[in-house]
Chain A
């Protein structure tokens, strides 16, 4: 029984493969009008038909190998790049993964209709099993496209996450014994942690007595960010460095007051320049104007 069903299935996949190869052009022409190909290949319809044709060929070779439920079937690897490009282009265009999946599913009715008419014409055999085989194959294709679309998206997200962490936390040495971190963008707890750790490491490495946290580039301050600032200041103080917060904008100052957060124990300055001037003054360094001989800002 099992042997026979396997044999039947083998025959069925061969028939499907044969059908796909024979009707390649016809299917490609029909698919080229479907949303999936039409939206990706907007310029040339011939290009869409060609892409559809190579997809049909890949499906035929998968069917021939009999591994119609196998995503790792060798037949798919040939079109992986093309599908990645198509799925990627759809995703960049703002299509949700489910929408892409629906578009792949929309390829099925036209090819099934063609198969039924094809089989009805050639011999009187029941077309049911073959239609099921084709449906399974198309389901596998749909899964494959979904997988490539999602992995393409994940790759982008991973790369951007790493890039964000890299650009997010430069610790700059402004003067001997003075380091600064210009914070840019919204702070979340993971970034806050990285900022805190890299600042404290820099304090040890540079033997810095002053650390400046510049929040000019932070759009909003909520209680979480304020709490993080307080923590960083306290940790730097425990290590023997003085922490200065600079670049608090009027709106943020208002928010902090409204939230009732007490920044009383934290030294604040209007700008990074003021904070640097304060730190230099504390260090005993004086910047003198060469023309007048007068000292700079305190």
Chain B
């Protein structure tokens, strides 16, 4: 698993697995090609690992266009088909306004203020060790 972008022209976005959750952190400008690649990667990762949830952290994304907005919606729809819940976390105000102005309100998508909130949201309420505490023990 790679931990960062390999170079400025890389189209690869890292998909991290934390317990039952796949964490995808998007940084900076996301090109169309990278977005398409990401969509594929997530689909494969969900199918391959039978992860229960996908958290997409978009707090590092300052600008979106209609294409990226559609990709968000499609990722969520794909993950749903594969029986994984998708949560988009940490969207910037400017990005939210842009998406709304574009008419992409993403009605089926769950959202959270930040990654911590998203993990808490996905954790079962009775679990004593929720991933929200930032610690995951593997017995």
Residue in B93, B99, B105 whose beta carbon sits within 8 Å of that of A204 in the complex? B93
Q: Point out the residues of chain B lying under 8 angstroms from A196, CB to CB.
A: 97
A207 within 8 A of B: yes
Cβ < 8 Å to B, chain A residues 39-92: none
Asked if B93 contacts A240 (CB within 8 A), the reply is no
Q: A231-B100, A234-B100 are in contact. Are A197 and B113 (CB under 8 A)?
A: no
Asked if B100 contacts A235 (CB within 8 A), the reply is yes
Residue in B93, B109, B112 whose beta carbon sits within 8 Å of that of A235 in the complex? B93
Cβ < 8 Å to A, chain B residues 99-123: 99-101, 105-107, 109, 111-114, 117-118
Q: Point out the residues of chain B lying under 8 angstroms from A239, CB to CB.
A: 90-93, 96, 111, 113
Asked if B113 contacts A231 (CB within 8 A), the reply is no
A209 within 8 A of B: yes
Asked if B93 contacts A237 (CB within 8 A), the reply is no
Q: Point out the residues of chain A lying under 8 angstroms from B100, CB to CB.
A: 231, 234-235, 238
B contacts with A: majority SS = mixed
Q: Considering the chains assembled together, what is the distance between the CA atoms of A203 and B118 in angstroms?
A: 16
A contacts with B: majority SS = helix
Q: A234-B105, A235-B100, A238-B99 are in contact. Are A207 and B93 (CB under 8 A)?
A: no
Asked if B113 contacts A209 (CB within 8 A), the reply is yes
Cβ < 8 Å to A, chain B residues 18-71: none
A-B contact number at CB 8 A: 58
* Minimal Cβ-Cβ distance residue in B for A208: B113
Asked if A238 contacts B114 (CB within 8 A), the reply is no
A171 within 8 A of B: no
Asked if A240 contacts B89 (CB within 8 A), the reply is yes
Asked if A240 contacts B105 (CB within 8 A), the reply is no
Q: Point out the residues of chain B lying under 8 angstroms from A235, CB to CB.
A: 93, 96-97, 99-100
A275 within 8 A of B: no
Q: Jot down 9 A-B pairs with beta carbons below 8 A, ordered by A.
A: A197-B93, A200-B93, A200-B96, A204-B92, A234-B100, A235-B93, A238-B105, A240-B90, A240-B114
Mark B residues whose CB is within 8 Å of A.
88-93, 95-97, 99-101, 105-107, 109, 111-114, 117-118
A234-B105, A239-B90 known; 10 new pairs, CB 8 Å cut-off, are A207-B113, A231-B101, A235-B100, A237-B111, A238-B91, A238-B109, A240-B88, A240-B113, A241-B113, A265-B107
Q: What are the 8 tightest A-B residue pairs by CB atom distance, in nearest-first order? A: A200-B93, A235-B96, A240-B112, A240-B113, A240-B111, A234-B105, A238-B96, A235-B100
Mark A residues whose CB is within 8 Å of B.
196-197, 200-201, 203-204, 207-209, 231, 234-241, 265
